[in-house]
């Protein structure tokens, strides 16, 4: 009645993957609390009449930390301190790209179900690498060809895996990410 529908940015998303045993995340692997896609990939639907083209689709991976700078920019505000996220307006408006080349995930603690492995992950292009902290093993997946993360390419793509491990470890060091402590 107030006409706000045509001048309102609406974001629909979730906090993390579906709860195992209740949600069916197929074809994604695993569930909430895991670094596999079933634990970190979530829906994102955005509506903003006059700004976002209705029915448009983007395959650019984003993170919930991007919402704060996006909403600030959408409201015409700015922040001078560095932010963890990046404004999604260039993607939403279809007039530019994001500046970052990768997304990072850091999970140094057990989820409530305690069935996850402690680790970190990096998503760069269509590739995603998971580093497991318990034994130092790595898993590399091409999500474009293997969304269910069934074929570990770490050995076959050893050079790519090594580069991504280095980038992930550099990010952890730069960001001051805390590592798990043995009991």
Question: How high is the pLDDT of residue 183?
Answer: 66
- Tell me: cis bond preceding 144? Omega within 30 of 0 counts: no
* CB neighbourhood size of 60 (10 A): 9
Question: How high is the pLDDT of residue 148?
Answer: 97
Question: How high is the pLDDT of residue 92?
Answer: 95
Q: Which residues neighbour 1 within 8 Å (Cβ) at sequence distance 6 or greater? A: none
What is the edge-to-edge ordering of all strands in the sheet holding 103-107?
Answer: 103-107, 119-124, 127-132, 138-142
pLDDT along the chain (183 residues), means of 10: 89 88 91 95 94 93 94 89 89 94 95 93 98 97 98 98 98 95 74
The structure tokens listed for 178 are 């805390």
Residues composing the chain: 183
Pairing of strands 10-13, 44-47: antiparallel
Question: How high is the pLDDT of residue 78?
Answer: 85
């Amino acid at each position: 009645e107030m006409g706000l529908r045509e001048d309102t940015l609406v974001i629909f998303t979730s906090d993390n993957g579906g709860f195992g045993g209740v949600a069916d995340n197929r074809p994604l692997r695993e569930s909430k609390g895991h670094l596999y896609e079933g634990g970190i990939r979530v829906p994102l639907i955005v509506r903003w009449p006059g700004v976002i083209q209705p029915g448009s689709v983007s395959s650019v991976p984003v993170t919930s930390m991007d919402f704060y700078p996006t909403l600030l920019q959408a409201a015409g505000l700015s922040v001078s301190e560095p932010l963890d996220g990046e404004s999604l307006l260039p993607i939403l408006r279809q007039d530019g790209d994001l500046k970052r080349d990768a997304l990072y995930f850091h999970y140094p603690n057990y989820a409530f179900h305690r069935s996850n492995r402690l680790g970190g992950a990096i998503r760069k292009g269509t590739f995603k690498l998971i580093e497991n902290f318990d034994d130092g093993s790595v898993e590399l997946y091409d999500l474009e060809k293997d969304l269910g993360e069934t074929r570990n390419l770490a050995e076959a793509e050893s050079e790519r895996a090594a580069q991504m491990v280095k980038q992930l470890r550099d990010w952890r060091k730069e960001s001051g990410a805390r590592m798990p402590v043995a009991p």
